[in-house]
Amino acid sequence: MAGFELNQAVVMIVMVAYMQFHTTVAKNTHVVGGPAGWTIPASGSHIYSSWAATKTFNVGDDLVFNFPTGKHTVAEVPLQGYDQCNTTDRARIYKTGPATITLTKSGTRHYICTFHCKMGQKLSVNVK
């Protein structure tokens, strides 16, 4: 009986290992703001937070910021930069639209338009 239980345990371990190595997570592409795109929101930044609340963001997913070059930008900033619309400590700035950003690490990521952040053009996402 002990041999049967041992064999059963080995089979379970092999199955779990197989599933971990052969399971792929589908990469999702999220168009920021949906059809409206990355633009100055008519009624404030809650449009972007409401949009993000309906999505699940995972490492490897892409965020696509649709905007006309020269009219908007996208900068990834720390929380303080997000709250204060400050780009001093930005990680990178994208000046050409549309801009695609691949989410490479988990945690909360913050993005702002360097021209229109104070008008509500900013997005915060929680990446799993």
Q: Low-confidence residues of the chain, pLDDT below 70?
A: 1-25
Residue 9 belongs to some domain of the structure: no
- Give the model's pLDDT for residue 2: 55
Number of domains the chain contains: 1
Residue 97 belongs to some domain of the structure: yes
> Coil, helix or strand for 78?
coil
Residue 21 belongs to some domain of the structure: no
Of 96, 94, 37, 31, nearest to 64 (Cα)? Answer: 31
Cα pseudo-dihedral 43, 45, 50, 51, rounded to 10? 100
- Could you tell me the CATH number of the domain that includes residue 56? 2.60.40.420
Work out whether the CA dihedral 84, 92, 51, 71 comes out positive or negative: positive
Residue 118 belongs to some domain of the structure: yes
> Coil, helix or strand for 65?
strand
Residue 4 belongs to some domain of the structure: no
Residue 120 belongs to some domain of the structure: yes
- Is the pTM higher than 0.85? no
Residue 14 belongs to some domain of the structure: no
- Give the model's pLDDT for residue 26: 72
- Rounded CA separation 90/82 (Å): 10
- Give the model's pLDDT for residue 67: 97
- Give the model's pLDDT for residue 119: 95
- What is the residue type of 7? N
For the stretch 35-55, pLDDT in tens is: 989 999 988 778 999 999 999
- Give the model's pLDDT for residue 88: 84
Of 94, 90, 65, nearest to 80 (Cα)? Answer: 90
State the residue range of the domain holding 113: 26-127
> Coil, helix or strand for 15?
helix
Task: Give the DSSP H/E element, type plus range, for residue 109.
Answer: strand 107-112
Residue 7 belongs to some domain of the structure: no
